[in-house]
Structures are given as structure tokens and as C-alpha cells.
Amino acid sequence: MSAIDSVQNPVYVYERPVRLWHWVNALALVVLAVTGYLIASPLVAPDGEASEHYLMGYVRFVHFAAGYVLAVGFIGRVYWALVGNQYARELFVPAIHRAEWWDGLWHEIKWYLFLVPEPRKHAGHNPLANMAMFVFYVLGALFMIVTGFALYGEGLGQGSWASRWFGWVIPLFGQSQDVHTWHHVGMWYLVVFALIHVYVVIREQRLSRQSMTGTMIDGWRNFRDDRP
Amino acid sequence: MVNSESFYDVMRRQGISRRSFLKYCGLTASALALGPQFVGQIVHAMETKPRTPVLWLHGLECTCCSESFIRSAHPLAKDVVLSMLSLDYDDTLMVSAGHQAEAILEETIRKYKGRYILAVEGNPPLNEDGMFCIIGGKPFVEQLRYAAKDCLAVIAWGSCASWGCVQAAKPNPTQATPVHKVITDKPVIKVPGCPPIAEVMTAVVTYMLTFDKLPDLDAQGRPKMFYGQRIHDKCYRRPHFDAGQFVETWDDEAARKGYCLYKMGCKGPTTYNACSTVRWNGGVSFPIQSGHGCIGCSEDGFWDKGPFYHRVTGLNAFGIESNADTVGLIAAGAVGTAIAGHAAVSVGKHVKGKESENDKNEREHV
């Protein structure tokens, strides 16, 4: 390999708030999925007076608290998309109006089907990753936030802020049980997202022409070669 | 038929003492969650207002709403409400039959144009031009539209009239349709339940007669005073839910101790009704108290939200008996397998690529 300075200059992609959001969000998602599953299929507390235990209560509390973290994080992330660098915007607005974006998407699909020998270089998300992030994460998380707060509003009661803002969701689905069911399906949607996300990040870290995991830690995208 | 008598006159005529009448007014005020200052208002209304005519139509239904209604165990409510209402037409309860009965319908609509209340039990099936439910030789939907044209308001009794209930369960062969989707130009008060609680039914009627206005309705048209909270919010087994103490089989120790029925598929957390506060049969009990979970009978499409005995219910969207967990696990499993396969191929390719690169490098060096 040639001297280090001849390799293409690193790009500062993920600013500090984006990185912080990513890891807080990842933790919140894990907590939400685990506690959410336990709300549908609860753990059983030991025998004794009901007043001695609060197991389901704690599980639900943790779920609601993590839900607030996810929702507030989402709002913060949208704000940063407005004020942050160009890569902060990608997540919400994939560049589908540009022909080269579609060309890149097609190339990346071929790379994943083992039809081309190497991927292209991208400072931000490659178009396939960008598309997946938008469809899986942005739409998925938005769905979970809206349905989640609709259900939360039922517990807070009619007239509460959550029921006033999100109460319309329940008749839209039919009734509360439908919202529960689809909220549960949404969890699996995000679990599938997480599986793919982790696999693809590890794979790209090993096989692509740029850094992956390190970028979400220090923010810098490093490249491994000088070719275009 | 002239309705110049007030409710009070009718009650006195039936031998009810003034003392009993005042007691009834007091109890009604508390049933409606009104303060004591409203008792006088109810008394005044009962003494001065002429009885409001009510037409009670029966569509596609099982008459469980009527059965519930006539069992209102509230003191005097059965006598009082039946007299109060001036129930001019109810083909199940009325004495007359056939042409005579149909003539009363005509007469009431003509005489009390815009002033009568239309109570509907059951719903109209719309398929085959409504031929699945024939009243007096004509499809029920025609009778419903005819009677609704000049009414003051519509009360949709029960889950049939409110949501569709069992006859609208998938695949709904008769296209049974809830009242609010057929009558769109009149206020429709939904009093869902299969059947609704008797005291809820009588209280809704009493409220309307006393205050000359519709009760406060929620976004889906149900009276807030009875459908504002879920069974779960006022369930006496709620402390066991929060504690995490659940019945897991019908004959376990937890079932004997009266723990929460959530894991047995209780739909209390998703059902808006007053069962856990008003209860049934004069406040004797309600399903959860008798050891069985709520099946959510006052909720939209509850027949299709089964199984009744599972907390995570079916996903009809996929056309098979699967719930969110089975679909989720299959999806996660399939994606996991695909990832493993893709990873194996990636590693294989990568290693082979490295080897050929090494070969090339070696050849260049040679």
C-alpha cells in the first residue's frame, strides 16, 4: 500500500448530535422491543399480596420512558436535519429526484447480488442504504411513535395531551385492539431492520471501500483507496 | 294517540307515590353522574314535559338489547322508562301486530314530525337490495331510511346498530352495515355492547328526555359518561395487573385467587364500556368478576379480533391464523437465514478475491 497521505481525504460525516442520537436511539429501541414484548406476553410476579409487587407496572414504565426518549430523539433528529450538515438531511430526504441516485441504487443492488466486483464510494449513505433507512427506520419509527402515543393516551385518559393529539389513530385502525396488534407488528418490522442494519454495517466495514462502524463513533469517513 | 300527559302524570296514574318518584329522580341524577342540584331539574322536567315519542325499530339482530333493556334493575326504571318513553312502536313489545302495528309507525312519523326519537336495534343488510331482512314485506333498510327522515335523533342500540356485530363479521355475506353508515344526516348516538348494560340504556334515554339534548359524545359517537373509560381503567383486578399477577390456566391457583385475566386474553384494556363500574343484573357482577375475561363486545368488529383467549390476537390481513408474533418470528427467521447465506457467500467471494489478487501480485513480482 502507498503512503497514507495519498489516500483520499477523510470526510467529516456524522456530527456529534447525530452520533449521540444514534446510540441513544439504538439503546431506546432495544429497551422498547424487550419491554414491549413483555407487555404483550408478561412475566409473572411471585405470589403474595398485589401491593407487594409492581412488576408489570415497572415494565410498562420503562417502555413509556424509552418511548419518550425515542420520540424526543426523533424530533431532535429532524431539527438537526434542518441545521446540520448535508449528510444529516439524507435520512429524511433521499435524493430520488436525481438520476445518479437511481444509478447508484441499481449499482448497490448489483453489489449485493454479487454481480459487480466492487461497490462505489459514498461519503454519506449509499442510495440503497439511504432508501432502507428511510423506509425501515424513518417510516417505521414514525409509525411506532404515532401508534404508541395513541395507546399511551388511552391510559392517560380522554382529554389528555396524548389522547387529544393521537386519539384519532384508534378509530382509523378500527379499535384499540387493532392498534395494539399493528404496534406489535411494527416492533417486528424494526427488529428485522436492526438485523439487516447490523449485518450490512459489519459487511460494509469489511468489504466496502470506506469506514463504517468507526464513522458512527468519531464521525469521520475514511477511504481505503484513491480510485474514484 | 295524544301525548299531553307528562311523565309524572303517567307515573302517578300507575300508582307510583311522589316519594318514590323523587327517589327515582335522585337515583337517576347520580346514575348520570350529576350533582344533587340537578335532581330538581329532573323533577321539573318529568312534571312538565310531554312524553317524547320513541319508535323502536328492529333490523338484523338477536333482540338481546331489548332483553337487556327490559331488565333494567334500577328502582322503577322498567316501569318509568317504558311509560316515559311513550314507546309508540316496537314490534317485539307492542300489543298490536301486522297492519295495525305498521299504521302506528305511519301515524307517529306524521304526527310528531321532527320530534320523535328513532331507536334502532340491529342493522340493515345492504346486499341483494336489503332482502336479507324483511319487515312488513319490505327490506328493513327502507323502513329505516323512511323512519329516520323526520326523526330528531337516532339511538343505535347495541353493537349491531353501532358497528355491525356478528352478522358483519368477515366475510359479512349480507353486507350488514351499521346505522351511522346508512343514516348520515341525523345525529346517531351509539350505545354499543352485546347487549348494552340495561342501566346505560335507560340512563341515555333519561338524559335526552330531561335535558332536551344529546349526551356528550366521544369522537366515535358514544356517550362519554359510560364509554369514556376502558373496562381496564376501573377493573377491580387492576392491582394484580400492575403487580404482574396473572391467571395462566383456567384452573390454576391464580384463577382461584382472582388474579388478572390479561394472559387469558381479557380485552378489558381495549374495551370502552361501563361494565366494571355499573356491572350487570342490578350491579351483581360482570364477566371479569365471574372469572372470565372481557371479550370486548362493545368494540368495533370484536368478532374478528380473536381469539378471545389470546392477548396477542390474529392478523386477518394475512388470511391465515397467525398473530403478530408468528408473523414477526417467521420474518425475523427468514431475514436471519438470508443474512447468514449472504454473509457466507460474501466471505467466500472475498477470500477467493484475495487469493486471485495474491496470485496476480505474485505473478507481477515474479
Lowest mean pLDDT among A208-212, B142-146, B232-236: A208-212
CATH superfamily of the B7-227 domain: NADH:ubiquinone oxidoreductase-like, 20kDa subunit (3.40.50.700)
Interface of A with B in 161-190 (CB under 8 A): 167-168, 171, 174-178, 180-182, 184-185, 187-188
pLDDT, residue B47, reads 82
| DSSP letter assigned to residue A70 | H
Band (B82; pLDDT cuts 50, 70, 90): low
Q: Which helix (H) or strand (E) holds B119?
A: strand B117-121
Distance from C-alpha of B86 to C-alpha of B116, rounded to nearest angstrom: 10
Which range of B4-13, B197-206, B241-250 scores highest in mean pLDDT? It is: B241-250
Four-point Cα dihedral B8, B14, B17, B19, nearest 10: -50
How many C-beta atoms surround the C-beta of residue A184 within 10 A?
24
Please give the single-letter amino acid code of residue B120.
Answer: V
pLDDT of residue B79: 58
**All residues at 6 or more sequence positions from B229 whose CB lies less than 8 Å from its CB, including other chains:** A157, A158, B272
Look at A192 and B335 and tell me if their CB atoms are within 8 Å: yes
Which pLDDT score, from 0 to 100, does residue A2 have? 39
Question: Which of A37, A61, A172, A176 to substitute to test the interface with B, most B CBs within 10 Å?
Answer: A176
**Which segments of chain B belong to CATH 3.40.50.700?**
7-227
Contact B328 A185 (CB under 8 A): yes
Q: Is A225 on the interface with B (CB under 8 A)?
A: no
Scanning every residue of chain B, which has its alpha carbon at the shortest distance from the alpha carbon of A60? B242
- Put simply, the answer to whether B305 touches A178 (Cβ < 8 Å) is yes
CATH 4.10.480.10 range(s) for chain B read 231-313
Interface test with A, best of B300, B302, B304 (most A CBs within 10 A): B300
Instruction: Say if residue B337's pLDDT is above 80.
Output: yes
Domain ranges of chain A: 11-221
Instruction: Classify B32 as helix, strand or coil.
Output: coil
CATH class of the A11-221 domain in this structure: mainly alpha
CATH fold group of domain B231-313: Cytochrome-c3 Hydrogenase; Chain A, domain 2 (4.10.480)
Opening angle at CA A185, ends A183 and A189, nearest 5? 110
pTM for this model (two decimals): 0.87
Mean pLDDT of the B221-225 span: 93
- Among A6-10, A44-48, B226-230, B335-339, name the one with the lowest average pLDDT: A6-10
What does the pLDDT look like over A134-165, one tens digit per residue?
999 999 999 999 999 999 999 999 889 999 99
Provide the pLDDT for residue A189. 95
Mean pLDDT within B260-281: 94
pLDDT on residue B134: 93
